[in-house]
Structure 1
Amino acid sequence: MKFLFDLFPVILFFVTFKWGEGHVPAAQSLVEKYLSSFVSGGISDPALAPILIATAVTLIASIVQISSLLIRRKKVDAMLWISFIIIMVFGGATIYFHSDTFIKWKPTVLYWCYCGAFVLAQFVFKKNLIRTVMEAQVKLPEQVWSNLSLAWAGYFFVMGLLNIYVAFQFSTDTWANFKLISMVGITPAFIVVQSLFLSKYMEETP
């Protein structure tokens, strides 16, 4: 359930973008009606209407996501705050400058922030983020905890590079597909493979 909750803005972005691609005049009409005051110069290229509408919907979804947690007095994870701030900055820049460059950079910046968090925590603050989350459920050798943290840092770094490659070497449509696949396919697959590898080390706590 938490996975779907975290994925909520990404799914809305994908669905809205796909709708916009198939209904460009309608998407442009929505941009002119609701976003013109936020767009530099007041006008934008109709070809960018799908990405602008999708970005606007994502911004609203992210605000609703964070607000729902705060209203219910639930803890907002640090990574969710980081994601929220980045989408606000890069999504806002996408709309204001009516350029898809910013929103395409957003996943990479987010991935590299996560990578940097793991590296800094482990080597500067001597704290293992994965261990902090999982230690109550499982026990692993110290070296395995360290390798696990580095594996996640490496994963986020590679995904950041891959996002840049897909974003600027292929069409926006291909990038949008990759963005969704990376969240619902690649990341879960990485977790499954990692879990299978770690199963021989795990000692469940009483």
Structure 2
Amino acid sequence: MKKLFFDLFPLVLFFIAFRYFDIYTATAVAMVASVGQILWLKIRKKIIETTHWINLGVIVVFGSATLFFQNDAFIKWKPTVLYWLFAGILLGSQLFLGRNLMRKLMGEQLVLPEAAWNKLNYSWAGFFILSGALNLFIAFSGYFTESQWVSFKVFGSLVLLIIFVILQSLWLGKYLKDTSDQ
């Protein structure tokens, strides 16, 4: 739980800064917080996960473009690019390298048959693809305000992730029961 709060730290600061200032200040705050996360992990001699580096790279690139061009479209694209990068990594690793990254990430905690690992990997990739598309719709369709997009980015995406994880665990329960009977 502590790790989750740490990982969400830049997002929470983005939300707070947006509520009190504007999208540009919020973007700068999220960039500084993301850099601060990496520095904190380095100082504490903790492992810096690949996802931290990817998130840092994406926020610096899209955040810098947002601030330089004073165009919020760049920061609105950031979640989609991040989600689609994760989906691409999961799918590319599975399809082209024959490596299931979900098994690599969770293999010590779960014992699953090969087919279940593949479904898990593909379902996470699908979740990231759909999340990215939903972000684009909310950000650019014209049906939602900037404030609604920020709320979705912070809370809606998190709620969707929690629901997805719960559904995944219910689905995985079937496989865990099957493997414990053997």
**TM-score > 0.5 by shorter chain:** yes
Q: Give the TM-score normalised by structure 1.
A: 0.82
Counterpart position of 1:186: 160
Trace 1:23-172 onto structure 2 (pairs within 5 A).
50-169=22-141, 170-172=144-146
In 2: Cα distance, 1:150 partner to 1:181 partner: 24
Partner of 2:149: 175
Q: TM-score, normalised by structure 2?
A: 0.93
CA shift at 1:135, angstroms?
Answer: 1.2
What letter corresponds to residue 77 of structure 1 in structure 2? E
2-structure distance, mates of 1:134, 1:62: 25
Tell me if structure 1 keeps the 8 A contact 2:131–2:157.
no
Distance 2:123 2:169 in 1: 12
Stretch of structure 1 that moved more, 109-118 or 185-194: 185-194
Distance 2:5 2:118 in 1: 28
Identity %: 43
Shift of 1:10: 0.6
User: Is it true that 1:201 corresponds to 2:175 in the alignment?
Assistant: yes
Q: Which amino acid aligns with 2:147?
A: D
1:8 counterpart letter in structure 2? F
Structure 1's unaligned 5+ residue stretches are 21-49
RMSD after superposition = 1.1
Asked if the contact 2:66/2:74 (under 8 Å) is kept, the reply is: yes
Distance apart, 1:182 and its partner CA: 3.4
Q: Tell me the alpha carbon deviations over residues 20-67 of structure 1, each in whole angstroms, 9 at most, x when there is no partner.
A: 2xxxxxxxxxxxxxxxxxxxxxxxxxxxxx011101110110010011
The amino acid that maps onto 1:4 is F
1:3 aligns with 2:22: no
Residue 201 of structure 1 deviates from its aligned partner by 1.1
How many residue pairs get matched?
A: 175
User: Alignment partner of 1:8: what SS?
Assistant: helix
Question: What is the CA distance between 1:125 and its match in structure 2?
Answer: 1.1
Q: Does 1:16 align with 2:17?
A: yes
